[in-house]
Structure 1
């Protein structure tokens, strides 16, 4: 006879309640999501994009400047001017002065110095000029700067070109995310329709995920008051929430449909779906959350905010999958297969007369092929993963600046003009600061030493703060913001030039350029620690679930290889420029600092999800047959369709980030799409069956256990019940 797994447990009781009180559950969800959305989107915390802080030298320099030079605080814009006939041409001068007057007359700007008043703002040939426009308020919104950017772009013509640069200018002209999420939802709908063959079955995962995402994103905005996060948190949270939300609902709906086909009534099928697939969803979601919280190990305030915020949306999707979805299943009942896609199915007598060897699925036949040559399959798949991962060894980290923005933007035009007229290092100034004893402190030897250093184009005279306790000056490198030579220059100044020239006095190197270098190096040094923590915790969870040390080790190694391969592809595309323009990356650039940090926990958690769904079925078959080869082949066959559909949805959702405007988000989306593709093909279809074939009975090794317990994984098996 057959008995349902955990039919009297907490999940079973929850499933029955949500099924029987479906109207109450649905109404509660609608009211809760509406309320949270109104509060969160209306009054949520603003994003915080200040990655500075901590104990880095640039952070200490910034703190010293904020304390003693308050007049230097606040954002600025930079107007770059290129005149074909020179800025002194009468018609050209009229245009330039008109633009400067409009910029100075804006309510969000302070006094503007005209380049006609200071020859230092003009090149020797008088063709290129610049000026700085201070913003009057530190809290100026990008919507207030957008009209200034538009005006500058509109005024440019063949005789004179204007470019408005600066952080707020870049933000102002960066368009919203646009249709990326909508395209992802549409792609997921098509995949679900193909997988289920029913519009009703297709709609349930999408509606469940969308409700959860709206509530989760609103909660993320409110959580920002406790742990602030940068502006990309919402975009990343939406991508992750959409992917896992649809996937989790997909697993449960698949199990529900299987139970109906086995003759269960809708309520029993719902209970089975939640106590099997729902249990797996909870484990999978918790794994993703724990992996995300591994970002806390990075010790960076904003990445902690990203970790907590994205964990919130994953938790909401988990709760929706085991409460809201059972309520929806209560409304659909047997109509889950309504509005079907016409399909040709063999007659029952034909199916029964077909030999079992011929009825084996493609996935099962493929697994058999791999298992006949496991050494070759494991060697080739491992070699492919290592080759893809090889570029990771040359990965460089940085933050995007104007030089890597699309070339039709005003901020890029400003960068291009300034680089031509004043050198590529003009946009990458180094700010030096130190404590002094009096206003008469002499920093000229330090400035001279910096000015004479190879790689420095020029340096400004030093100036002392009004309180006579600190001094500062700036220097401009000969290389740009993204150049590796600039980072090497900063280290040379800190390690050799400044200690010798200052006579032991602490002269700090700061500014946005140095802060980016410090952030990249700190992140790179802490990344191995985060990886180790995430792997260790995930392995403990997986060992507790599958009762096998061997399989947990296999999962950790395979996940590392697939993520390493994704890192390698990102380096090749973004940093080396392979297919970069075709994929929306205007020029070669270092990988954005937060992308590898964010990718690892998300991908490791998702890979563990797929590993659990596959291995749980393999273990079930092994306990039934006692043969690893048969168990792997059948387990792969039984899970191939659902894991392939889930992976396809993830790939579609992550790939749509390439349609958006944010360079860093594009990098993360591309990397995660590649990782899921590799995981669902090379790893799950080749590496896993080959390695498990090689390990044989050692797959199930667990200290202190002679043989695996029967049905130990039935509680988390997708689409299978305990057989007694």
Structure 2
């Protein structure tokens, strides 16, 4: 672990790679405009007296001179020497700062932000904006990880009522998480991963790691209460709950690796990081934890707290509730399914994008920059399209003027900058500013219009190649790729998970039911996200500063993670029902007894998951908030409405069909 944390690979947040139009534009820029390879920052200036007033201009020039001395800043374009950088009313202007690296180190960006803030006052406001500012002001992770761990410890303590049982559970889980993260940091040299990769791996590892340890410790305590000696109790716990952990963990790993169908290298890297972390928590649960239980012996309940926890795992209330649903299965099915479908409906209006300065908290420099520049230059100033043309020798003049004019006269384009030709004369670029903002649905539609209607006449049979890129175009291309690939991801994950479920529960109906229930939970989760993030229903109460589309990578990760977590609960519940059925109980009795014996631990596991996932609402990053909220909603619905209503109702209606398995399939599937 020391090697992994001490020599972690650097993060890679460039999502524009591949064969998209924005990726091709970026490649042309790198080839022909080497001075623009790094990232850029924008310094916004607002002064009621006018930015050309002598006192204001001298302060702005002093600040840009100070910022230009930063280690990685290579050039500064002042509004007083570059046309088009002062608003029409003269009260707002901007300067651009170019760097030689992408991204800029976060510590350097924070220093630049501090210097910018300190220069303001006296009727003049300065604000620094750009993608690197978003990363520096709203970092991933932070205190939310500790909050999640502490909340999980409290839930386990309530469930077990024993400090020792809680401590052993947390030790096994945290050892698996830390070893998994250390390994993923080293794998980052082979699979470069984005900045959000560690928090995805940590959240998933924290949730499943504690759950897996919880399942095994619960079964161990139950075996001790049944009269087994400690060694036999460990055997029972690992052979029963441990088997469920192995299958559940394998399902989560397979579900995460399903992200490879998206064919995006950074998402592949994040899938590897999350899978490795889950794998290590699973290994710790079935190796380290049994050893710890061997040391604890019958003292597992030592340091017991009064009025908390019970040794037995049976819940008479849950068993009685299951029998209520079994007496009215149609009502339970209709009501439960109706709620899930109603929550799912908003998901069909989901839009995808990426966070930018406009979605930052309103007290940040990035948001202030967005506010100032939108006021002075229009909403689309933060959403520029970089038009890059690769030109035949000697044809720059014949092509650039009409192309620039055609783009500038397109409805929805507010302005275009003068074209800039590369030093070798083989490429040129200019910037087109939309009239709409980065997060506006009209902006990607304008991009599509430019690419499909405006540009083609200039490239047909002319030898000219034109690509439209830039951050806004890159986000739109990635969102489109997600929308195209998501159905393949769903099909791959469900197909692989069904094979595992069939091998474990040996039932076609139960495996298919699990897939359908998970899809309902995912749909409901997406619907709630749309209502809160896009529509703004209670968004400020949950820390979302404004309405915005859903961050493009969030649905991609919520689906496989939730499918794996839902399978955890399904495996633990159904395997216990199968045990009861195999001992001679009829299906109705087996379902009631199985639910009664797993309800308490599933409730505790779900409570841990929900508290861990909701803890990220403390982080300033909007995408991570969405990720945690979506998973928390889905897990809550899965552990309550699905497990307590829909599952007993469906199994009651199916009757003996629950255990149907064709003979040919029985011969093919491995016996566990």
Q: Within the alignment, does 1:197 sit opposite 2:161 as a pair?
A: yes
Question: Does structure 1 retain, via aligned residues, the 8 Å contact 2:609–2:632?
Answer: yes
Question: Does structure 1 retain, via aligned residues, the 8 Å contact 2:75–2:99?
Answer: no
**Compared CA separation, residues 633 and 217, structure 1 to 2 (3 A):** same
Per-residue Cα deviation, 1:612-655 (whole angstroms, up to 9, x for no partner): 11111112222334422111111110110111111110111011
1:220 alignment counterpart: 184
Corresponding residue SS for 1:341? coil
Q: Which has the larger radius of gyration?
A: 1
* Paired residues for 1:163-242 under 5 Å: 163-175=127-139, 177-242=141-206
* Paired residues for 1:153-164 under 5 Å: 153-164=117-128
Q: Within the alignment, does 1:85 sit opposite 2:38 as a pair?
A: no
Deviates more, 1:697-706 or 1:124-133: 697-706
| Count of residues in Structure 1 that have an aligned counterpart in Structure 2 | 664
1:641 alignment counterpart: 600
1:576 alignment counterpart: 535
Per-residue Cα deviation, 1:341-369 (whole angstroms, up to 9, x for no partner): 224999x9xxxxxxxxxx98110111111
C-alpha distance in structure 1 between counterparts of 2:502 and 2:477, whole Å: 38
Root-mean-square deviation (CA), in Å?
2.1
Q: Within the alignment, does 1:445 sit opposite 2:388 as a pair?
A: no
Corresponding residue SS for 1:81? strand
Question: Does structure 1 retain, via aligned residues, the 8 Å contact 2:262–2:489?
Answer: yes
Post-superposition shift, 1:112?
Answer: 2.1
* Paired residues for 1:292-371 under 5 Å: 292-343=256-307, 361-371=316-326
C-alpha distance in structure 2 between counterparts of 1:120 and 1:706, whole Å: 70
Per-residue Cα deviation, 1:180-214 (whole angstroms, up to 9, x for no partner): 11111111111111111111111111111112211
Per-residue Cα deviation, 1:549-607 (whole angstroms, up to 9, x for no partner): 11111111011101110011111111111111111111001101100001111100110
Post-superposition shift, 1:305?
Answer: 0.2
Corresponding residue SS for 1:210? helix
Q: Within the alignment, does 1:465 sit opposite 2:429 as a pair?
A: no
Question: Does structure 2 retain, via aligned residues, the 8 Å contact 1:217–1:238?
Answer: yes
Post-superposition shift, 1:244?
Answer: 0.7
C-alpha distance in structure 2 between counterparts of 1:39 and 1:360, whole Å: 45
Corresponding residue SS for 1:237? helix
Per-residue Cα deviation, 1:429-466 (whole angstroms, up to 9, x for no partner): 11112221124422211111111110001112223322
C-alpha distance in structure 2 between counterparts of 1:137 and 1:397, whole Å: 28
Question: Does structure 1 retain, via aligned residues, the 8 Å contact 2:384–2:434?
Answer: yes
1:599 alignment counterpart: 558
1:564 alignment counterpart: 523
Corresponding residue SS for 1:133? strand
Scaled by the length of structure 2, the TM-score of the pair is 0.95
**Compared CA separation, residues 107 and 60, structure 1 to 2 (3 A):** closer
Post-superposition shift, 1:100?
Answer: 1.8
C-alpha distance in structure 1 between counterparts of 2:470 and 2:649, whole Å: 52
Give the counterpart of 1:617 among 556, 561, 576.
576
2:347 alignment counterpart: 392
C-alpha distance in structure 1 between counterparts of 2:101 and 2:37, whole Å: 10
Question: Does structure 1 retain, via aligned residues, the 8 Å contact 2:414–2:433?
Answer: yes
Post-superposition shift, 1:158?
Answer: 4.9
C-alpha distance in structure 2 between counterparts of 1:493 and 1:140, whole Å: 31
C-alpha distance in structure 2 between counterparts of 1:484 and 1:452, whole Å: 20
2:448 alignment counterpart: 491
C-alpha distance in structure 2 between counterparts of 1:326 and 1:707, whole Å: 32
Question: Does structure 2 retain, via aligned residues, the 8 Å contact 1:449–1:501?
Answer: no
Per-residue Cα deviation, 1:89-141 (whole angstroms, up to 9, x for no partner): 34333332321221123233223233233452211222101010112444641
1:675 alignment counterpart: 634
1:587 alignment counterpart: 546
Question: Does structure 2 retain, via aligned residues, the 8 Å contact 1:583–1:658?
Answer: yes
Question: Does structure 1 retain, via aligned residues, the 8 Å contact 2:157–2:309?
Answer: no
C-alpha distance in structure 2 between counterparts of 1:107 and 1:565, whole Å: 48
C-alpha distance in structure 2 between counterparts of 1:138 and 1:636, whole Å: 53
**Compared CA separation, residues 292 and 176, structure 1 to 2 (3 A):** closer
Question: Does structure 2 retain, via aligned residues, the 8 Å contact 1:197–1:341?
Answer: yes
Q: Within the alignment, does 1:549 sit opposite 2:508 as a pair?
A: yes
Post-superposition shift, 1:178?
Answer: 2.9
**Compared CA separation, residues 464 and 281, structure 1 to 2 (3 A):** same
Corresponding residue SS for 2:294? helix
**Compared CA separation, residues 124 and 375, structure 1 to 2 (3 A):** same
1:109 alignment counterpart: 73
**Compared CA separation, residues 513 and 138, structure 1 to 2 (3 A):** closer
**Compared CA separation, residues 569 and 498, structure 1 to 2 (3 A):** same
**Compared CA separation, residues 344 and 180, structure 1 to 2 (3 A):** closer
Q: Within the alignment, does 1:285 sit opposite 2:249 as a pair?
A: yes
Q: Within the alignment, does 1:148 sit opposite 2:112 as a pair?
A: yes
Deviates more, 1:113-122 or 1:668-677: 113-122
Corresponding residue SS for 1:111? strand
1:417 alignment counterpart: 372
Post-superposition shift, 1:59?
Answer: 1.2
**Compared CA separation, residues 137 and 540, structure 1 to 2 (3 A):** closer
Question: Does structure 2 retain, via aligned residues, the 8 Å contact 1:425–1:479?
Answer: yes
* Paired residues for 1:45-60 under 5 Å: 45-60=9-24
Scaled by the length of structure 1, the TM-score of the pair is 0.89
Per-residue Cα deviation, 1:693-722 (whole angstroms, up to 9, x for no partner): 1111111111128999xxx99x7xxxxxxx
Question: Does structure 1 retain, via aligned residues, the 8 Å contact 2:260–2:268?
Answer: yes
Question: Does structure 1 retain, via aligned residues, the 8 Å contact 2:103–2:132?
Answer: no
C-alpha distance in structure 2 between counterparts of 1:373 and 1:138, whole Å: 61
Question: Does structure 2 retain, via aligned residues, the 8 Å contact 1:402–1:412?
Answer: yes
C-alpha distance in structure 2 between counterparts of 1:610 and 1:525, whole Å: 30
Post-superposition shift, 1:682?
Answer: 0.4
Question: Does structure 2 retain, via aligned residues, the 8 Å contact 1:621–1:634?
Answer: yes
Question: Does structure 1 retain, via aligned residues, the 8 Å contact 2:140–2:199?
Answer: no
Corresponding residue SS for 1:120? coil
Per-residue Cα deviation, 1:357-395 (whole angstroms, up to 9, x for no partner): xx9811011111111111111011001000001111001
1:249 alignment counterpart: 213
C-alpha distance in structure 2 between counterparts of 1:109 and 1:69, whole Å: 16
1:482 alignment counterpart: 439
**Compared CA separation, residues 450 and 345, structure 1 to 2 (3 A):** closer
Corresponding residue SS for 1:231? coil
C-alpha distance in structure 1 between counterparts of 2:666 and 2:66, whole Å: 81
Q: Which runs of 5+ in 2 are unaligned?
A: none
Post-superposition shift, 1:58?
Answer: 1.4
